[in-house]
A and B are shown apart, each in its own frame.
Chain A
Amino acid sequence: AQTVTQSQPEMSVQEAETVTLSCTYDTSESNYYLFWYKQPPSRQMILVIRQEAYKQQNATENRFSVNFQKAAKSFSLKISDSQLGDTAMYFCAFMATTSGTYKYIFGTGTRLKVLA
């Protein structure tokens, strides 16, 4: 069975600094997708970045980048030049399709607070 683990329940970072949120997962699938979602206090979950497992190149979206280590089953999110608006809950998610059915699993989340 697939699992997603976020070992950091809460983190804080100073504005303009860099922070890394960790995510590990367990799967026997070879083809899958990984996602980071951001949920600010406004409640709406927003897709931040996605990674296809068959791509070795780490995904990047502006100040957000991932460190995808397939062998280690690790998918960390790096936020550069942190801004107050980055304060949110961050969820790592895993998706794989097996025999026509799919599994979409969220981690438990990391609450990030950006300090002024």
Chain B
Amino acid sequence: DTEVTQTPKHLVMGMTNKKSLKCEQHMGHRAMYWYKQKAKKPPELMFVYSYEKLSINESVPSRFSPECPNSSLLNLHLHALQPEDSALYLCASSSYEGGPYGYTFGSGTRLTVV
């Protein structure tokens, strides 16, 4: 299995809702990442998990809460989001943090906050 699977593909949520994004990989990668991407822009790093521990938090607002229950699974819990949080959320994995072989990305969750 050489894929990163993200669910759901699309999500529309109100500003008072709580929702979660899910990411799963079975490549044995030990680093997993959340990126936020606005239209026609490069991805922006949000969080990095290395060996299931939070390694990097790029000063992301607390309304985004990551979770890594095991080495294959990464969640992003969303609560009280703002319309400007609407974006494509990409999950990625790599063999290890800073590994030289590049990332494997999922196909993303298109989030719309209304």
Contact = CB atoms under 8 A, between A and B. Distances in A.
Contacts of B100: 33, 50, 52, 95
Interface residues on B, range: 20 to 34
Contacts, number: 49
Interface of A is mostly: strand
A64 interface: no
Given A45-B90, A46-B105, A47-B104, A109 B98 contact: no
Contact of B97 (A33, A52, A89, A102): A102
Interface of B is mostly: loop
B98 A45 contact: no
Which of A45, A46, A52, A93 has the most C-beta atoms of chain B within 10 angstroms of its own C-beta? A45
Given A33-B100, A52-B100, A95-B100, A106 B105 contact: no
A111 interface: yes
B105 to A, nearest CB: 4
B102 A43 contact: no
A50 B101 contact: yes
A44 interface: yes
A32 to B, nearest CB: 9
